[in-house]
Every structure is written in structure tokens, then in C-alpha cells.
């Protein structure tokens, strides 16, 4: 008898016994007529019929990528490769990947970040290293380190080169860059519990969309009165690590400051007030200044002051910022101190808050705007009605569980901006799955 037949028999017997005793499990209750599908459904490829077509598509897109190496063909090829993996995987394999493989890899990465494995592994030009040698250097239990690295090897985070011997990959070496690596310890220490306890929160609070910032999934998971940001700042270095993480999120994405996205010269620099002290761009909740630094670098001749605003504790963590950029401690729920700026800019700010709080934030900005001159630039995801990108939907899951907030559709954005008493001029986008720039003015 094969292993598959054993699994099928065990499952069939378990189901039959449970049903005969009047104790069919919850899964049966959720299927048509109370019947559980045969286990063979979970042991065959999920979509084998699509494999031949996907292979042809991959070959065609692959040729285009090799010839051009452009962003569009790379993303298309990556999406097709993911589709192929999903089509070939059995539901059982997908289940184990989601329940064991990826959580286990997250655990091992965060642990190895804490231990200091990845910088050590990258030394000597990434030459292969024995676990025993790494354990001695890092003052770590050899058995523990071997188990962690073995799983990271199977998940292609690092590369196995021999028994208990590994070398880095581009990914593992990139984890030594704070804006790439720090997200793992930050969310392990102050985020993921809310994700994993979300089903329990739903049961307790009646399966409602989370909107409370005082009794949301985050407060439930961490038994705290803080929101995400308050908790992270109260438990250093989580706050600093999370700010690094958000800096990593911003890397490598189409930027509204680049040609072909938002016409900076035409709609921002042109007509800007050149009087002494006039503000060109105010970056609200700008964290460590990644965005406004980028603007300064790409548009060095744009006239007017560049101002980075965030809470004083956040600004105090900045280690590098262009000297022409002003730092200003500010809570965006209070009165905006910079009046009549050319543009008030927010990147990934409003998706952290409920509509009610967003209206307060926008209201403070609106009160500071100069009619016929000032703009509000909102750099956020605009989720399409169909065909949404996975990064946007994944982020929606994160802000839902961590902040009782949400990513918004175009219809939602138009409604929110209108309720704030602003006019949505245009939504600027370059590709599905990337953030847009929502340009707003006073009516």
C-alpha cells in the first residue's frame, strides 16, 4: 500500500467514524450537504490544465526579459512563475508551505537577525562557512544554529554547500541592510501576534470589520492600550527597526518624482513662491526622511523650503539627511504650523488611520492651505475593483490587523477627499500594483 493510500484510508476512516457518531467536524458543516471532498483533491496539482499554457507564456516572456531586462517584463515573468508554482503545487503542499514553511522561515530569519548570522555569513566575499565555526564566532549553540540554517537552506534564504555548511544569497546578504532586514525583528517583536490572533479577535467581537483603535486586533493581541506606533516606540529598538522597514518598502518602486509619473516641474515647481521663507514641500509623517531626501536629490533646483515633519522621537533617530531639509517636530493631528506651502505631502500615512482620523488630519492641512496655490499630494495604494496586486492586498491585511485601518479603492479615496472638503484633481499612476499619487486642491 502506498503512502497516499494510507493517507486516504486514514482520512476516510476518520471522517466516517466522526459522521457515524454524529460528530462531523466543522469543515463538513461548511460544505454542500455536509460532505467533505475526497482527500485526493488535496493530493493532486491544483491546476494542472494551466501548466502547458503557462510554460509557453514563461518561455515567451523570458525571451523578452533576456533581451530587454526591463521592469515590466521582469514583473510579468515573476507573476507567471508564481502562477506556475501554484498550479503545480498540491493543496496539501500549499497548506504546509503556508502553515509551516513560511512561518518557520520568518521565525528563523528573525532569530538569525538577532544572533547576527547574516553579516558573518557574508564575510570573505560570501565564501562557504561551517555551522560549527559560525556558532563559535557568534557564541551561539551549535545545534540551534544548525536547525535554523537548515530550514533557511531549504527555503532558499541561504544556499547549502555541504553538510552543515552554507553560503549567502543575494537575499540573505541584503538582510544586512537595515531597511531590508529590520522588518523581521520589528514585526516579530511588535506586529505578528496581531496577525495570528486576528481570527480569535473576530470571534470575540462578532466578525466585524475592525475599526476601533482602542479595542482592535492589535490591542487584543498585545494586551495594550497603545496603537502600533505607540507600542513600538515604547519598546526600543522596535520603533527604529520599523521605520527602517518602511524605508525598505519604499525602495525599488516607481517614484512619483521621476519623469513619466507626476510632472513635478509643471505642477509643483512652476508657479512656486520664490519669496524668502516660502515652503515648497512639507512631508507630513515623513519618518526618517527617505522621500524628501529623494526629492531633494532628484530636484535640487526646485525653489522653496523642504520640511520634514514627524514626532520628535522619530526625528531624533535620523542619522543622515540632506542639510537643506528642515526637521520639524509635529503631530499631524494638531494645527499645521507651516502655512501656505506649495504642497503638503503624505506617503503611507492615511492608510494607517480610520476615515474619521483621516478627516481630522486632512482638516488640519486644509486649514493651512492657500487657496488657488497649495496642493495636497497623497502617495498611497489605489486598489482597483479587479486585478489588484498582491503587495497592496497584503498591506491591506497588515493595516487591518495592526491598525484597524485599510488600503482604499478609487471610489473610497474620492469619497474621503470630498468629505474632507478638498477637490481630487487627478490620480497619477504608472502601473497596477504600485502606489499612485493623488493630487488634491481646495475647491
Catalytic residues: 351
End-to-end CA distance of the chain: give it in Å, rounded. 75
Three-state SS at 344: strand
Residue 359 sits at φ, ψ, to 5 deg, of -65, -35
Residue among 238, 196, 239 nearest 218 (CA): 196
d(CA 107, CA 221): 18
Query: CA angle at residue 351 from 246 to 332, to 5 degrees?
Result: 85
Buried b (16+ CB within 10 A) or exposed e, 65-95: beeeeeeebebbbeebeebbeebebbeebee
Q: Which residues lie closer than 8 Å to 155 by C-beta, 6 or more apart?
A: 101, 102, 104, 105
For residue 174 the three cell numbers come to 541584503
d(CA 249, CA 315): 19
- In 116-207, where does DSSP find H-type helix? 117-126, 131-138, 142-154, 170-174, 178-181, 183-190, 192-196, 198-204
Amino acid at each position: 500500500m502506498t503512502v497516499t493510500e494510507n493517507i486516504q484510508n486514514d482520512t476516510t476512516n476518520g471522517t466516517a467514524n466522526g459522521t457515524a457518531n454524529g460528530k462531523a467536524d466543522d469543515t463538513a458543516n461548511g460544505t454542500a450537504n455536509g460532505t467533505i471532498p475526497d482527500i485526493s483533491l488535496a493530493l493532486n496539482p491544483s491546476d494542472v490544465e494551466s501548466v502547458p499554457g503557462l510554460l509557453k507564456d514563461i518561455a515567451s516572456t523570458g525571451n523578452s526579459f533576456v533581451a530587454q531586462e526591463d521592469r515590466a517584463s521582469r514583473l510579468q515573468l515573476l507573476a507567471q512563475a508564481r502562477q506556475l508554482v501554484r498550479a503545480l503545487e498540491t493543496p496539501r503542499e500549499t497548506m504546509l508551505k503556508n502553515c509551516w514553511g513560511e512561518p518557520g522561515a520568518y521565525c528563523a530569519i528573525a532569530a538569525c537577525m538577532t544572533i547576527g548570522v547574516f553579516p558573518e555569513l557574508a564575510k570573505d566575499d560570501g565564501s562557504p562557512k561551517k555551522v560549527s565555526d559560525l556558532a563559535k564566532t557568534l557564541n551561539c549553540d551549535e545545534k540551534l544554529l544548525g536547525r535554523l540554517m537548515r530550514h533557511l537552506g531549504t527555503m532558499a534564504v541561504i544556499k547549502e554547500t555541504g553538510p552543515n555548511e552554507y553560503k549567502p544569497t543575494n537575499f540573505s546578504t541584503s538582510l544586512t541592510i537595515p531597511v531590508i532586514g529590520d522588518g523581521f525583528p520589528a514585526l516579530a517583536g511588535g506586529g505578528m501576534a496581531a496577525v495570528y490572533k486576528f481570527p480569535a479577535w473576530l470571534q470575540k467581537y462578532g466578525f466585524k470589520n475592525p475599526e476601533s483603535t482602542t479595542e482592535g486586533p492589535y490591542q487584543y493581541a498585545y494586551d495594550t492600550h497603545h496603537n502600533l506606533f505607540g507600542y513600538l516606540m515604547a519598546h526600543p529598538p522596535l520603533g527604529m527597526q520599523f521605520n527602517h522597514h518602511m524605508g525598505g518598502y519604499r525602495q525599488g518602486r516607481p517614484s512619483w518624482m521621476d519623469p513619466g509619473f507626476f510632472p513635478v516641474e509643471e505642477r509643483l515647481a512652476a508657479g512656486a513662491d520664490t519669496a524668502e521663507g516660502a515652503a515648497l514641500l512639507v512631508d507630513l509623517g515623513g519618518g526618517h526622511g527617505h522621500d524628501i531626501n529623494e526629492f531633494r536629490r532628484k530636484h535640487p533646483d526646485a525653489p522653496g523650503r523642504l520640511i520634514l515633519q514627524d514626532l520628535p522621537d522619530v526625528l531624533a533617530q535620523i542619522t543622515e539627511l540632506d542639510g537643506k531639509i528642515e526637521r520639524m517636530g509635529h503631530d499631524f493631528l494638531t494645527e499645521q504650523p507651516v502655512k501656505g506651502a506649495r504642497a503638503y505631502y503624505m506617503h503611507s500615512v492615511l492608510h494607517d488611520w480610520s476615515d474619521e482620523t483621516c478627516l481630522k488630519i486632512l482638516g488640519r492641512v486644509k486649514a493651512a492651505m492657500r487657496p488657488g496655490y497649495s496642493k495636497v499630494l497623497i502617495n498611497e495604494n489605489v486598489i482597483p475593483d479587479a486585478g489588484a496586486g498582491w503587495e497592496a492586498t497584503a498591506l491591506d491585511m497588515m493595516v487591518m490587523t495592526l491598525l484597524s485601518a485599510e488600503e482604499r479603492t478609487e471610489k473610497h479615496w474620492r469619497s474621503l477627499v470630498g468629505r474632507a472638503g478638498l477637490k481630487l484633481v487627478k490620480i497619477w499612476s504608472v502601473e497596477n500594483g504600485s502606489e499612485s499619487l493623488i493630487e488634491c486642491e481646495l475647491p
